[in-house]
Amino acid sequence: MQRTWTAPFAWVGRSAVETAAAFGRFGVFGARAGRAVADVATWGRMLVVQMARLGVASLPIALFIAAFTGIVLSLQASYTFTGTVPEYFVGTLVGKTVILELGPVLTGLALAGRVGANIAAELGTMRVTEQIDALETLGYDPVSYLVIPRVVAGVLMFPVVVACADAVGVAAGWVTALNLLDMSTPEFVRGLRLFFLPFDVQYSLVKAASFGFAVTAVGTHFGFHTAGGAEAVGRSTTQAVVVSSMLILVLDAFWAVALL
């Protein structure tokens, strides 16, 4: 009886401690990563491999999502604008929405699932199989060797992937407008250029870089701190995907407040 009514308090206290511990671990992890950045010789050799794995290999899914996003946006814009709003605003809506929001966010969420889960699972497995311990034993800094190349690759390749996704999304909306909405290219381009600002692209790329950092940092953190067996690897993977996805949305709101 006594345990029953104290249980909620115990849960709150435990959660608070765990949260504080998580932030603490993440802070320590960040500090180690910060120190490891200087070890370019170690992580530089792994960078291209990670860029290929995180960026190039992620292009198909990112472009696939972007293409269908552009198609749907174009059709929904036309459906919404029936009436007083001119058709060329389909181009405006597709361009603005894809570049400013859906391109970076949907790509980030997709890569959070693919890349974040991959990193967390890989590092978690290395942790539970003591490969990371082995690296330390061999004198390698596991953070320099495993974490920094992934995080840097994520920061560098996410904008590239998002740029390609933006282009494909707009192109898909354009093709859709031409073939399904009976719009002309000048109409669509007029709408596309109507409110376009170069800042839109900068905004999109900055968001993408921050998403890349968040996804890779969270993935490496949860993978690096996996404790236990295979179950812990799965839990770390899940946590990495959930937290990185949430972090993407939080960052999305943050950049909207900070830059727009």
Partner 1 sequence: MKRSNEVLVGLVVIVGVMVVVFGTIWLKGVKPGRERTDLVARFDRVGQLLEGGVVKLRGVPIGRVEKIALDSTGDGVLVTMSIRSDVQLPPEAVVVLSPESLFGDWQAEIGGKADPDFESYDYAQPVGAGVLPGYSLPELSRITAVADQIAHDLAILSDRFQEAFTTETAKNIRLAIENIQQVSEQLTGLVGKQQSAFDSVAADLTRTSQAAGQAAETLDRAFTEVEAAIGGGKLTGIVDNVQRSSVRVDSLTTELMAASRALRRMALGADTTLRRMGTIATSLERGEGSLGMLLRDTALYYSLAEGSVQLQALLKDIREHPRKYINLTVF
Residues contributing to the site for partner 1 (CB under 8 A): 48-49, 51-52, 55-56, 59, 85-86, 89, 95, 156-157, 159-161, 163-164, 166-167, 192-198, 201, 205
Spell 92-122 as b/e; 16+ CB within 10 A means b: bbbbbbbbbbbbbbbbbbbbbbbbbbbbbbb
By beta-carbon proximity to partner 1, the closer residue of 89 and 255 is: 89
Nearest-approach distance from CB 73 to partner 1, in angstroms: 16
By beta-carbon proximity to partner 1, the closer residue of 125 and 204 is: 204
Nearest-approach distance from CB 216 to partner 1, in angstroms: 16
By beta-carbon proximity to partner 1, the closer residue of 58 and 245 is: 58
Dist CA 49 CA 46 (whole Å): 6
| Residue (of 35, 23, 231) closest to 142 by Cα position | 35
Nearest-approach distance from CB 260 to partner 1, in angstroms: 13
Nearest-approach distance from CB 246 to partner 1, in angstroms: 26
Cβ atoms within 10 Å of 85's Cβ, excluding its own: 14
By beta-carbon proximity to partner 1, the closer residue of 13 and 186 is: 186
Nearest-approach distance from CB 13 to partner 1, in angstroms: 48
By beta-carbon proximity to partner 1, the closer residue of 89 and 222 is: 89
Q: Are 100 and 204 in contact (CB under 8 A)?
A: yes
Nearest-approach distance from CB 163 to partner 1, in angstroms: 4
Nearest-approach distance from CB 99 to partner 1, in angstroms: 9
Dist CA 81 CA 64 (whole Å): 26
By beta-carbon proximity to partner 1, the closer residue of 188 and 224 is: 188
By beta-carbon proximity to partner 1, the closer residue of 158 and 255 is: 158
| Residue (of 34, 22, 24, 35) closest to 213 by Cα position | 34
Dist CA 72 CA 181 (whole Å): 12
Polymer length of the chain: 260
| One-character DSSP codes across 158-196 | HHHHHHHHHHHHHHHHHHHHHHHS---HHHHHHHHHHT-
Structure tokens at 25: 């671990």
